[in-house]
Amino acid sequence: FPSDYPNNPPKVYYRSFGLRLNPNLYNSGYVCLSLLNTWGGKGTERWCPDKSTILQVLLSLQGLVLNEKPYYNEPGIKPAWSWESYNADVFALSCKTMLYLMKKPARNFEGFIAAHFRDHASVILKACVAYRNGRVRIGLFDGDAPVGSKKKKVNVSKKFKDSMNELYPELYKAFNRIGASLKNLPEKLEDDGDGKPANGIIGKLKRFWEAMTA
Protein backbone atom coordinates (compact mmCIF):
# COMPACT_ATOMS: atom_id res chain seq x y z
CA PHE A 1 0.00 0.00 0.00
CA PRO A 2 1.51 3.38 -0.99
CA SER A 3 1.84 6.08 1.66
CA ASP A 4 -1.04 8.06 0.14
CA TYR A 5 -3.44 5.09 -0.03
CA PRO A 6 -6.42 5.20 -0.68
CA ASN A 7 -5.78 8.23 -2.90
CA ASN A 8 -3.83 5.85 -5.12
CA PRO A 9 -4.43 2.11 -5.60
CA PRO A 10 -2.34 -0.61 -3.97
CA LYS A 11 0.68 -1.78 -5.94
CA VAL A 12 0.50 -5.41 -7.03
CA TYR A 13 3.49 -7.52 -8.06
CA TYR A 14 3.17 -10.96 -9.64
CA ARG A 15 5.86 -13.55 -8.89
CA SER A 16 6.20 -14.86 -12.44
CA PHE A 17 9.53 -16.72 -12.21
CA GLY A 18 10.11 -15.26 -15.67
CA LEU A 19 7.03 -16.93 -17.20
CA ARG A 20 4.20 -15.17 -19.05
CA LEU A 21 1.01 -17.19 -18.56
CA ASN A 22 -1.66 -14.51 -18.79
CA PRO A 23 -2.11 -11.37 -20.94
CA ASN A 24 -2.58 -9.39 -17.70
CA LEU A 25 0.40 -10.91 -15.86
CA TYR A 26 3.77 -9.98 -17.34
CA ASN A 27 6.95 -11.98 -16.87
CA SER A 28 8.42 -8.83 -15.26
CA GLY A 29 5.82 -9.03 -12.47
CA TYR A 30 3.74 -6.16 -13.86
CA VAL A 31 -0.03 -6.61 -13.35
CA CYS A 32 -2.18 -4.98 -16.03
CA LEU A 33 -5.59 -4.01 -14.61
CA SER A 34 -7.73 -0.87 -14.93
CA LEU A 35 -8.56 -0.87 -11.22
CA LEU A 36 -4.82 -0.61 -10.45
CA ASN A 37 -4.47 2.25 -12.96
CA THR A 38 -2.05 0.10 -14.95
CA TRP A 39 -4.44 -0.09 -17.92
CA GLY A 40 -6.94 2.32 -19.46
CA GLY A 41 -10.51 2.55 -18.26
CA LYS A 42 -13.40 4.89 -17.54
CA GLY A 43 -15.24 5.85 -14.37
CA THR A 44 -15.28 3.16 -11.71
CA GLU A 45 -13.21 0.86 -13.93
CA ARG A 46 -10.25 2.82 -12.60
CA TRP A 47 -9.31 3.43 -8.98
CA CYS A 48 -11.67 5.82 -7.16
CA PRO A 49 -10.37 6.87 -3.70
CA ASP A 50 -13.87 7.25 -2.25
CA LYS A 51 -15.31 4.03 -3.73
CA SER A 52 -12.64 1.46 -4.61
CA THR A 53 -11.49 -1.14 -2.08
CA ILE A 54 -8.85 -3.86 -1.77
CA LEU A 55 -11.72 -6.38 -1.93
CA GLN A 56 -12.56 -5.11 -5.42
CA VAL A 57 -8.93 -5.57 -6.44
CA LEU A 58 -8.84 -9.17 -5.19
CA LEU A 59 -12.18 -10.05 -6.80
CA SER A 60 -11.08 -8.45 -10.09
CA LEU A 61 -7.86 -10.46 -10.12
CA GLN A 62 -9.78 -13.64 -9.35
CA GLY A 63 -12.72 -13.13 -11.70
CA LEU A 64 -11.35 -11.04 -14.58
CA VAL A 65 -7.71 -12.13 -14.78
CA LEU A 66 -7.66 -15.73 -13.52
CA ASN A 67 -10.53 -17.01 -15.65
CA GLU A 68 -11.03 -20.17 -17.72
CA LYS A 69 -10.11 -18.54 -21.04
CA PRO A 70 -7.40 -15.89 -20.45
CA TYR A 71 -6.83 -15.80 -24.23
CA TYR A 72 -9.68 -13.31 -24.46
CA ASN A 73 -8.04 -10.95 -21.94
CA GLU A 74 -5.70 -9.75 -24.69
CA PRO A 75 -7.31 -6.76 -26.45
CA GLY A 76 -4.67 -6.58 -29.19
CA ILE A 77 -2.95 -9.28 -31.23
CA LYS A 78 -3.96 -12.63 -29.81
CA PRO A 79 -1.19 -14.69 -28.15
CA ALA A 80 -2.17 -17.91 -29.99
CA TRP A 81 -4.40 -19.10 -32.82
CA SER A 82 -7.20 -20.22 -30.44
CA TRP A 83 -8.12 -20.16 -26.76
CA GLU A 84 -7.64 -23.94 -26.63
CA SER A 85 -4.07 -23.63 -27.93
CA TYR A 86 -3.34 -20.81 -25.49
CA ASN A 87 -4.78 -22.78 -22.56
CA ALA A 88 -2.46 -25.67 -23.40
CA ASP A 89 0.59 -23.41 -23.20
CA VAL A 90 -0.74 -21.70 -20.07
CA PHE A 91 -1.39 -24.96 -18.23
CA ALA A 92 2.14 -26.19 -18.91
CA LEU A 93 3.53 -22.87 -17.65
CA SER A 94 1.25 -23.10 -14.60
CA CYS A 95 2.74 -26.52 -13.80
CA LYS A 96 6.23 -25.02 -14.03
CA THR A 97 5.13 -22.17 -11.76
CA MET A 98 3.90 -24.69 -9.18
CA LEU A 99 7.29 -26.41 -9.21
CA TYR A 100 9.09 -23.08 -8.74
CA LEU A 101 6.73 -22.10 -5.91
CA MET A 102 7.35 -25.31 -4.02
CA LYS A 103 11.11 -25.09 -4.60
CA LYS A 104 11.35 -21.41 -3.65
CA PRO A 105 8.23 -20.31 -1.75
CA ALA A 106 7.71 -16.67 -0.86
CA ARG A 107 9.19 -15.75 2.50
CA ASN A 108 6.71 -16.17 5.38
CA PHE A 109 4.33 -18.06 3.06
CA GLU A 110 6.19 -21.39 3.11
CA GLY A 111 3.58 -23.16 5.26
CA PHE A 112 0.65 -21.69 3.37
CA ILE A 113 2.03 -22.77 -0.02
CA ALA A 114 2.86 -26.30 1.18
CA ALA A 115 -0.61 -26.68 2.73
CA HIS A 116 -2.27 -25.45 -0.46
CA PHE A 117 -0.51 -28.01 -2.64
CA ARG A 118 -1.04 -30.81 -0.14
CA ASP A 119 -4.78 -30.13 -0.35
CA HIS A 120 -4.92 -29.80 -4.14
CA ALA A 121 -2.18 -32.14 -5.40
CA SER A 122 -4.56 -34.96 -6.29
CA VAL A 123 -6.86 -32.73 -8.38
CA ILE A 124 -3.89 -31.10 -10.14
CA LEU A 125 -2.42 -34.47 -11.13
CA LYS A 126 -5.83 -35.77 -12.24
CA ALA A 127 -6.18 -32.66 -14.40
CA CYS A 128 -2.78 -33.41 -15.97
CA VAL A 129 -3.96 -36.92 -16.85
CA ALA A 130 -7.34 -35.73 -18.16
CA TYR A 131 -5.81 -33.01 -20.33
CA ARG A 132 -2.90 -35.15 -21.54
CA ASN A 133 -5.29 -37.89 -22.67
CA GLY A 134 -7.90 -35.60 -24.23
CA ARG A 135 -10.73 -36.28 -21.77
CA VAL A 136 -11.44 -32.62 -20.96
CA ARG A 137 -10.73 -29.34 -22.72
CA ILE A 138 -7.64 -27.82 -21.14
CA GLY A 139 -8.58 -25.39 -18.40
CA LEU A 140 -12.07 -26.80 -17.82
CA PHE A 141 -11.33 -29.73 -15.47
CA ASP A 142 -13.69 -29.62 -12.47
CA GLY A 143 -12.14 -32.36 -10.35
CA ASP A 144 -14.71 -35.02 -11.15
CA ALA A 145 -14.16 -35.73 -14.83
CA PRO A 146 -14.11 -39.47 -15.64
CA VAL A 147 -10.54 -39.69 -16.92
CA GLY A 148 -11.03 -43.15 -18.35
CA SER A 149 -14.46 -42.60 -19.88
CA LYS A 150 -15.43 -43.60 -23.41
CA LYS A 151 -16.60 -40.09 -24.33
CA LYS A 152 -15.33 -38.48 -27.52
CA LYS A 153 -11.74 -37.37 -26.99
CA VAL A 154 -10.44 -33.83 -27.38
CA ASN A 155 -7.58 -33.30 -29.80
CA VAL A 156 -4.32 -32.68 -27.94
CA SER A 157 -1.09 -31.57 -29.59
CA LYS A 158 2.07 -33.65 -29.38
CA LYS A 159 3.80 -30.60 -27.88
CA PHE A 160 1.36 -30.57 -24.96
CA LYS A 161 1.53 -34.34 -24.46
CA ASP A 162 5.32 -34.16 -24.35
CA SER A 163 5.21 -31.31 -21.83
CA MET A 164 2.84 -33.27 -19.57
CA ASN A 165 4.97 -36.40 -19.86
CA GLU A 166 7.92 -34.32 -18.64
CA LEU A 167 6.18 -32.18 -15.99
CA TYR A 168 3.83 -34.74 -14.42
CA PRO A 169 6.54 -36.88 -12.74
CA GLU A 170 8.26 -33.72 -11.47
CA LEU A 171 4.98 -32.55 -9.92
CA TYR A 172 4.37 -36.01 -8.45
CA LYS A 173 7.77 -35.99 -6.74
CA ALA A 174 7.35 -32.41 -5.50
CA PHE A 175 3.88 -33.14 -4.07
CA ASN A 176 5.16 -36.35 -2.49
CA ARG A 177 7.98 -34.45 -0.77
CA ILE A 178 5.54 -32.10 0.96
CA GLY A 179 3.37 -35.00 2.18
CA ALA A 180 0.43 -34.84 -0.24
CA SER A 181 -1.87 -37.86 -0.53
CA LEU A 182 -1.27 -39.40 -3.97
CA LYS A 183 -3.19 -42.65 -3.58
CA ASN A 184 -4.04 -44.44 -6.86
CA LEU A 185 -2.16 -41.86 -8.94
CA PRO A 186 0.63 -43.04 -11.29
CA GLU A 187 4.16 -41.71 -10.81
CA LYS A 188 4.44 -40.92 -14.50
CA LEU A 189 2.20 -40.73 -17.56
CA GLU A 190 2.04 -43.43 -20.19
CA ASP A 191 -0.68 -44.02 -22.77
CA ASP A 192 -2.13 -47.51 -23.18
CA GLY A 193 -3.95 -46.66 -26.40
CA ASP A 194 -7.21 -45.65 -24.73
CA GLY A 195 -6.01 -42.50 -23.07
CA LYS A 196 -5.46 -44.14 -19.68
CA PRO A 197 -2.18 -44.17 -17.77
CA ALA A 198 -0.59 -47.53 -18.56
CA ASN A 199 -0.25 -48.76 -14.99
CA GLY A 200 -3.43 -50.88 -15.07
CA ILE A 201 -3.82 -54.47 -16.26
CA ILE A 202 -3.77 -53.49 -19.95
CA GLY A 203 -0.60 -51.50 -19.55
CA LYS A 204 1.08 -54.28 -17.55
CA LEU A 205 0.16 -56.90 -20.18
CA LYS A 206 1.43 -54.61 -22.93
CA ARG A 207 4.79 -54.13 -21.22
CA PHE A 208 5.02 -57.90 -20.49
CA TRP A 209 4.40 -58.74 -24.15
CA GLU A 210 6.95 -56.13 -25.31
CA ALA A 211 9.54 -57.65 -22.95
CA MET A 212 8.83 -61.19 -24.13
CA THR A 213 9.08 -60.30 -27.82
CA ALA A 214 12.11 -58.00 -27.53
Residue type at position 4: D
Q: How far, in Å, CA of 124 to CA of 119, rounded?
A: 10
Taking each helix axis as running N to C, give the angle between helix 110-132 and helix 158-177, from 0 to 180 degrees, rounded to the nearest 10: 150
Are the beta carbons of 46 and 63 closer than 8 angstroms? no
Spot the catalytic one: 32, 48, 95, 128: 32
Q: Confirm whether 32 is a catalytic residue.
A: yes
Q: How far, in Å, CA of 117 to CA of 102, rounded?
A: 8
What are phi and psi for residue 191, nearest 5 degrees?
A: -105, 130
Q: How far, in Å, CA of 141 to CA of 150, rounded?
A: 17
As a dihedral over the C-alpha atoms of residue 116, residue 124, residue 201, residue 193, rounded to 10 degrees, the angle is -170
What are phi and psi for residue 39, nearest 5 degrees?
A: -150, 155
Q: How far, in Å, CA of 200 to CA of 158, rounded?
A: 23
SS (H, E, C) 176-187: HHCCCCCCCCCC
Q: Specify the 3-state DSSP secondary structure of 136.
A: coil
Active site residues: 32
